[in-house]
Structure 1
Amino acid sequence: MVFLIMAHQHQHGHSHTHHHHDLKGRNLLISIILNAFITLAQVIGGLVSGSLALLSDALHNFSDVLSLVISYMANVLSKRKASAKKTFGYKRAEVIAAFVNSATLMVVAVFLIIEAVERFYHPKDIGSDLVIWLSIIAILGNGFSVLLIKKDSDVNMNMKSAYLHLLTDMMASVAVLIGGLLMKFYQVFWIDPLLTLLIALYLVYMGYDLLKQSTKVLMLFTPKSVAVNDIVVAISNISLVKNVHHVHIWQLNEEEVHLEAHIDFLQDIRLSEFDRVLEQIEKLAYDEFGINHVNIQPEFGKCDSKQIIVQD
């Protein structure tokens, strides 16, 4: 008889985690309100002043509002418990949000590049005073939002995507302010499409890495921090283990990395002996590779492929 055994590290500090989730949600909500106000002001100001850089900043800000709403919804969904129909719950919600947000960064960037190139060929006088004041408002609003969610951005992909949106928009607003000052005092109006182009290229630079990371998680690729051959060798060195095969390692979300494998044993051992080996594997996987969910299928003399990687 073959047993499928599931082991995982027990979680602690539920009240702290719940409080942390609440703070994340609150901070996102504040950022949404701030950015909605900034977007509206910049759209009106951009239309009145004729500044493409201001309108491009407004468009970026609008994508911020959408991304923050997605991040907020993902944050709410991720707190929902697992059920019979959703055995993993909504743990992937924040990774999906990160993917959507980073993809929108790229789309917005392409749109801005097209608009900037067109404006180079058809320059336009800009109402610089409005540009200056609205960019200052945007810098203050986005700066406050960046400070609110910076801490969570270091450990959470969803919050990082929201943080990148806000950070790039704050930097874009700084560029727009510099452009507004140059237009006001030196009548250098070509600076407007140039800044738009630079903002767009920076969006591509910032968004690409996050898009790649979130895609790898959604595609169940092996995390970069885990070397499959190293963990196979480490488990094979455990007493009674003959070989390790059919290995799958994937990242469910920021907090969970899963290992699934078949292990061929040298002897027809008892379940109690297997439990002791399983504890060793669990400790090894967590301490040396950061894997906190282990799913092992024990085997003895079973005729199946012994390759490490087998596509099921």
Structure 2
Amino acid sequence: MGHSHSHHNHGHADLKGRNLFISIILNVLITVSQVIGGIISGSLSLLSDALHNFSDVLSLVISYAATKLAKREASTNKTFGYKRAEIIAAFVNAATLVVVAVILIKEAIERFLDPREIASDLVIWLSLLGILANGFSVLLLKKDSDRNMNMRSAYLHLLTDMMASVAVLIGGILMKLYAVYWVDPLLTLLIALYLIYVGYDLLRKSTRVLMLFTPDTIEVKKIVEAIGSIRSVKNVHHVHIWQLNEEEVHLEAHIDFDRDINLSEFDKILDQIEEEVYHKFGINHVNIQPEYGKCDSKKVIVQD
């Protein structure tokens, strides 16, 4: 039993999809240019940037597909619809960031051991292309990145790639002026370490949602205390709290009442519970199992 406070804005979802599609096209252009330029110039940092851009293309395609799936209606065999598609996309994208970083670290170490002369002019021009294209994509996705984990994963891919292009540009200038070619693998290594840093945080957050962990911002004991303070509620037990996606946080619990109340009175108490947990804890889906005199353990707060 319970009602939802969440809202859906299909127009906004369409805008997200359009921005993602533009970013995909731009990143395909960057990737092709940097692969060709990296091979011609011999620059590992440019090739590493191209590899990162290619992972961006894949991640953006996944994010784009997830935004489309998330709009599909629920059905009898998919009662939640595809609401978790964007969380899965965020998880996959975060994992690819970490994998790409490990590959870059390996390549950087090999290049440190075997440094090569690099055509710096081509590196400079192609890194500028990467900065401009990724910078535009970052601006397109920034607004949505603050409120949607899927869009944040795409935004982080593009932001780190823009920063990588800045690093490659600086490296290209240093190589052109001073012929310090060890800068190339050093920048690659720094890019890779930053990818691990941002990728791990997003991977951790998306994993928590997929594993149905209680959101970090919610304390179960405080919810139990808040519901327990409502008149006629004797005990709150067998509590489960999980996040379905970015918009929905669910609570289910067994509530033992101090007397045998009728259904209309329970509905009034349920309204109180819903208002309490929504305004204090941001929980917008509530499912309560009422009990009176039932022989089960009332001491178990969180257990099946």
The amino acid of 1:263's aligned partner reads I
Residue equivalent to 2:75: 83
In the alignment, the residues of structure 2 paired with residue 280 and residue 310 of structure 1 have an alpha-carbon distance, to the nearest angstrom, of 22
The amino acid of 2:230's aligned partner reads I
In the alignment, the residues of structure 2 paired with residue 69 and residue 106 of structure 1 have an alpha-carbon distance, to the nearest angstrom, of 18
In the alignment, the residues of structure 2 paired with residue 248 and residue 11 of structure 1 have an alpha-carbon distance, to the nearest angstrom, of 19
The reply on whether 1:67 has 2:59 as its aligned counterpart is yes
In the alignment, the residues of structure 1 paired with residue 14 and residue 76 of structure 2 have an alpha-carbon distance, to the nearest angstrom, of 26
Match of 1:188 among 148, 162, 180: 180
Shift of the alpha carbon at 1:305?
Answer: 1.6
In the alignment, the residues of structure 1 paired with residue 202 and residue 154 of structure 2 have an alpha-carbon distance, to the nearest angstrom, of 11
Trace 1:210-289 onto structure 2 (pairs within 5 A): 210-289=202-281
In the alignment, the residues of structure 2 paired with residue 8 and residue 257 of structure 1 have an alpha-carbon distance, to the nearest angstrom, of 12
The reply on whether 1:293 has 2:285 as its aligned counterpart is yes
Match of 1:93 among 71, 85, 88: 85
Cα offsets for 1:151-174 (capped at 9, x unmatched):
000000000000000000000000
In the alignment, the residues of structure 1 paired with residue 175 and residue 53 of structure 2 have an alpha-carbon distance, to the nearest angstrom, of 22
Shift of the alpha carbon at 1:130?
Answer: 0.5
**2:242/2:251 contact within 8 Å kept:** yes
Match of 2:38 among 18, 43, 46: 46
Residue equivalent to 1:167: 159
Given the two structures, how large is their TM-score scaled by the length of structure 2? 0.99
Shift of the alpha carbon at 1:307?
Answer: 2.9
Structure-2 change in CA distance of 1:10 and 1:225 (3 Å): closer
SS, match of residue 2 in structure 2: strand
Shift of the alpha carbon at 1:268?
Answer: 0.4
Cα offsets for 1:257-290 (capped at 9, x unmatched):
0000000000100000000000000000100000
Alignment gaps of 5+ in structure 1: 1-5
Residue equivalent to 1:113: 105
The amino acid of 1:9's aligned partner reads S
Shift of the alpha carbon at 1:308?
Answer: 3.9
CA RMSD of superposed structures (Å): 0.8
The reply on whether 1:9 has 2:1 as its aligned counterpart is no
Residue equivalent to 1:3: none
Number of matched residues? 304
Match of 2:168 among 170, 176, 185: 176
In the alignment, the residues of structure 2 paired with residue 217 and residue 84 of structure 1 have an alpha-carbon distance, to the nearest angstrom, of 23
In the alignment, the residues of structure 2 paired with residue 10 and residue 236 of structure 1 have an alpha-carbon distance, to the nearest angstrom, of 22
The amino acid of 1:88's aligned partner reads F
In the alignment, the residues of structure 2 paired with residue 121 and residue 293 of structure 1 have an alpha-carbon distance, to the nearest angstrom, of 57
SS, match of residue 7 in structure 1: coil
Match of 1:197 among 185, 189, 202: 189
The amino acid of 1:75's aligned partner reads T
Match of 1:137 among 129, 143, 159: 129
Alignment gaps of 5+ in structure 2: none
Match of 1:155 among 147, 151, 155: 147
Cα offsets for 1:112-142 (capped at 9, x unmatched):
0000001000000001010000000000000
In percent, how many aligned pairs have the same letter?
A: 76
**2:6/2:247 contact within 8 Å kept:** no
The amino acid of 2:211's aligned partner reads M
**2:6/2:284 contact within 8 Å kept:** no
Cα offsets for 1:189-245 (capped at 9, x unmatched):
000000000000000011110000000000000001110000001100000000000
In the alignment, the residues of structure 2 paired with residue 190 and residue 112 of structure 1 have an alpha-carbon distance, to the nearest angstrom, of 15
The amino acid of 1:228's aligned partner reads V
Residue equivalent to 2:117: 125
The amino acid of 1:285's aligned partner reads V
